């Protein structure tokens, strides 16, 4: 029997010492991630819960059978749609992974060194989304299964043939949790071979065969071609690999960043990553530690399935790879070379540095979990923001459960571009405009799946930018950027008791204005058409009607209406501007320039004239 990574291990620490370190790991892990219990469901969580509840069938051939199918079904059967139970299970898996990492390292390194490495992993801010987002159970289950496989092979001397075969089974669980587990196949096959035994070849072959089978099943299920969401680009490796090292070392500095990808592509992250990579390689060559090289190989191969992605980069991608990095650094710090027994306990300086790092990581996790925007009462973190939005929306819907019909329209409030005033929108909500305004709410509620899950009487829940005539028999749910919403029926939302009753010109214009603020564009169009019947040459009617027709995409009607408006009111700047914009957008540049020249004469100092100069100067599309 040979030790898998060469050399003989130091004498085992007393069981009491190992248990003490284990309890410390658990306590620190719980303290670092205690706030996960306050987080709710968001985004994809509702899709998997909906399928687990039996309301919707799961697609055939899903590769993540354990994590996104069986796990959600089991948890839903045990706890229902209660996020607390899901977060508790996820945190338990994370702590188990950290403990197994400690147990493996403690066989070859001083207990303090092994515990320090495990604590760095357990408290890493890079794992924030993996712990706070229920759907990231894919990474937690995969990481725990891989840690179990390694522990079975290295945690103690395999005294029988059972433990290595159990490791093969653990690896199968990892593959059924997330596809990145294929990257561990070479390392685990190597460990199986080095464990010895008459069946070592069969075990190594089985490990590789399982990975190949998973690749065959999952092939084609992800859009990895050029221009697709998960497009692969070999050159991306040169950016992503150093970025992953920067994430592993300094993800705590990114807690204010709204995009993992933007942070990873920043010059600072790239420079830090390359410096760390160079320092790591130098240390590996100088120490010549097989165990440290094995940890490096684990880190790189576990990232291999995602390292070439061109436009997808998330910090939690590092979850399964991070144990390899911290283990490699631990062996380098302890000076373990060819003989693991030569490993030494770290000096006070290194011990203090590791303690400071762990405390800094815990502070970064806390800072990210409690971060707030200055303009809106929402957390700045992407996952937390959507969880807060979902909670606000579902709480408001629950308070009006009786008013929900079988078909629900969720109506956004994000401004919509229009030619005559820049935007059509509802009254101000008191929140700063967000480029992800409607998308955050839509994603937080998983496109309406959250509504169907939590309110079974609702058979259809759809998001729309505005209402249409077909929505007259549906429940109307206008929502704000923070997810808070109201529930009403169509007639109440419209606010006009009898739309068919005769009305004056002023009443039609007043209704049109109110409908525009409520995003009832078809109703506003009807009112303006009725107003034009009463006053065919009224400039205000024609200008507003033409602008609305343009915003609804009817350029032909808009052009005719605005030409009529300019004919009856040749000095009206709004009519000239709107007509010029329509002509410009239709490719009639000569006519548009002539119209704009008239505007510059009529109102040369107006904001409209300024916009025209920017347009003609090529600074505006």
Question: Which range has the worst mean pLDDT, 82-91, 124-133, 495-504, 521-530?
Answer: 495-504
CB 50 within 8 A of CB 43: no
Q: Which residues pair with 477 in a beta bridge?
A: 410
Res 425 pLDDT > 60: no
CB 571 within 8 A of CB 545: no
> Hey, which bits of 405-505 come out as E strands?
407-411, 460-464, 475-478
CB 115 within 8 A of CB 68: no
pTM to 2 decimals? 0.79
592: number of CA atoms within 13 Å, CB side?
17
Q: Which residues pair with 460 in a beta bridge?
A: 407
Of 412 and 13, the structure prediction assigns the larger pLDDT to 412
Give the model's pLDDT for residue 33: 96
Q: What is the mean pLDDT of the chain?
A: 84
Give the model's pLDDT for residue 475: 92
Residue 558 pLDDT class (50, 70, 90 cuts): confident
Q: What backbone torsions phi and psi does residue 373 show, to the nearest 5 degrees?
A: -80, 155
Across the range 29-54, mean pLDDT stands at 92
Res 150 pLDDT > 90: yes
Q: Which two tokens stand for residue 454?
A: 């939590």
Across the range 422-441, mean pLDDT stands at 57
Place of tokens 């072959």: 205
Angle between helices 555-568 and 573-585 (to 10 degrees): 150
Identify the top-confidence range among 40-44, 52-56, 415-419.
40-44
Q: Is residue 164 exposed (0-12), middle (13-18) or buried (19+ Cβ within 10 Å)?
A: buried
Place of tokens 């059509």: 424
**How far is CA 331 from its chain centroid?**
34
Across the range 526-540, mean pLDDT stands at 87
Give the model's pLDDT for residue 507: 82
Q: What backbone torsions phi and psi does residue 299 show, to the nearest 5 degrees?
A: -60, -50
Q: Could you give the CA distance from residue 621 to residue 209 in angstroms, rounded to a whole number?
A: 55
Tens digit of each residue's pLDDT (9 = 90 or more) over 260-271: 888 888 899 999
CB 509 within 8 A of CB 441: no
536-616 falls under which CATH superfamily? Tetratricopeptide repeat domain (1.25.40.10)
Q: Could you give the CA distance from residue 604 to residue 593 in angstroms, rounded to a whole number?
A: 15
Res 399 pLDDT > 80: yes
Question: Which range has the worst mean pLDDT, 153-162, 349-358, 522-531?
Answer: 153-162
Domain boundaries, the chain: 15-369, 382-494, 536-616
Res 375 pLDDT > 70: no
Q: Could you tell me how many residues make up the chain?
A: 621
Across the range 218-238, mean pLDDT stands at 72
Q: Could you give the CA distance from residue 389 to residue 400 in angstroms, rounded to a whole number?
A: 17
Residue 423 pLDDT class (50, 70, 90 cuts): very low
Q: Could you give the CA distance from residue 552 to residue 522 in angstroms, rounded to a whole number?
A: 9
Sheet with strand 475-478: strands edge to edge: 460-464, 407-411, 475-478
**Measuring CA to CA, how many Å separate 321 from each of 94, 195, 296, 405?**
14, 22, 9, 48
Tens digit of each residue's pLDDT (9 = 90 or more) over 500-522: 667 888 888 888 887 777 777 77
Q: Could you give the CA distance from residue 564 to residue 617 in angstroms, rounded to a whole number?
A: 28
**How far is CA 109 from its chain centroid?**
37
């Amino acid at each position: 029997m040979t030790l898998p990574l060469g050399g003989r291990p130091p004498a085992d620490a007393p069981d009491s010492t190992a248990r003490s370190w284990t309890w410390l790991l658990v306590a620190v892990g719980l303290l670092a991630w205690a706030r996960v219990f306050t987080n709710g469901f968001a985004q994809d969580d509702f899709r998997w819960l909906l399928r687990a509840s039996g309301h919707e069938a799961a697609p055939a051939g899903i590769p993540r059978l354990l994590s996104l199918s069986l796990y959600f079904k089991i948890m839903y059967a045990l706890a229902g749609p209660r996020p607390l139970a899901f977060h508790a299970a996820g945190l338990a898996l994370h702590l188990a992974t950290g403990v197994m990492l400690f147990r493996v390292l403690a066989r070859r390194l001083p207990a303090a060194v092994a515990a320090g490495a495990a604590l760095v992993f357990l408290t890493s801010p890079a794992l924030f989304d993996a712990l706070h987002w229920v759907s990231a159970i894919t990474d937690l289950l995969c990481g725990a299964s891989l840690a179990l496989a390694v522990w079975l092979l290295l945690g103690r001397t395999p005294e029988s043939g059972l433990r290595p075969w159990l490791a093969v089974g653990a690896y199968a669980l990892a593959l059924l949790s997330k596809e990145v587990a294929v990257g561990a196949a070479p390392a685990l096959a190597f460990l199986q071979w080095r464990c010895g035994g008459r069946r070592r070849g069969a075990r190594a072959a089985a490990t590789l065969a399982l990975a190949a089978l998973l690749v065959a099943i999952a092939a084609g299920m992800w859009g990895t071609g050029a221009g697709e969401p998960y497009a692969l680009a070999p050159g991306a490796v040169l950016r992503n690999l150093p970025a992953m090292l920067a994430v592993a070392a300094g993800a705590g500095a990114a807690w204010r960043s709204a995009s993992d990808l933007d942070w990873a592509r920043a010059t600072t992250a790239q420079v830090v990553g390359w410096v760390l990579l160079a320092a790591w390689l130098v240390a590996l060559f100088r120490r010549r530690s097989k165990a440290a090289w094995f940890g490096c190989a684990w880190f790189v191969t576990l990232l291999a399935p995602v390292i070439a992605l061109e436009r997808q980069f998330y910090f939690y991608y590092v979850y399964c790879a991070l144990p390899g990095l911290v283990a490699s650094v631990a062996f380098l710090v302890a000076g373990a070379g060819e003989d693991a027994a030569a490993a030494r306990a770290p000096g006070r300086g290194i011990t203090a540095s590791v303690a400071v790092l762990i405390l800094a990581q815990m502070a970064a996790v806390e800072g990210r979990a409690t971060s707030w925007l200055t303009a809106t009462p929402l957390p700045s973190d992407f996952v937390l923001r959507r969880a807060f939005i979902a909670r606000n929306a579902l709480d408001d819907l629950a308070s009006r459960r009786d008013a929900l019909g079988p078909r629900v329209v969720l109506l956004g409030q994000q401004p919509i571009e229009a030619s005559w005033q820049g935007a059509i929108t509802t009254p101000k909500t008191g929140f700063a405009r967000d480029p992800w305004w409607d998308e955050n709410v839509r994603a937080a509620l998983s496109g309406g799946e959250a509504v169907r899950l939590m309110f079974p009487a609702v058979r259809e829940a759809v998001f729309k930018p505005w209402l249409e005539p077909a929505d007259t028999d549906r429940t109307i749910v206008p929502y704000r950027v923070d997810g808070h919403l109201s529930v009403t029926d169509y007639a109440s939302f419209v606010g006009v008791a009898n739309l068919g009753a005769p009305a004056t010109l002023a009443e039609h214009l007043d209704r049109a204005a109110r409908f525009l603020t409520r995003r009832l564009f078809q109703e506003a169009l009807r009112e303006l058409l009725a107003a034009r019947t009463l006053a065919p040459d009224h400039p205000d009617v024609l200008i507003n009607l033409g602008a609305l027709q343009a915003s609804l995409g009817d350029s032909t009607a808009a052009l005719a209406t605005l030409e009529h408006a300019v004919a009856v009111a040749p000095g009206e700047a709004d009519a000239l501007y709107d007509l010029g914009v329509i002509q410009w957008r239709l490719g009639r540049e000569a006519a548009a320039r002539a119209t704009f020249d008239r505007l510059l004469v009529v109102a040369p100092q107006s904001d409209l004239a300024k916009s025209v100069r920017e347009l003609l100067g090529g600074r505006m599309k």
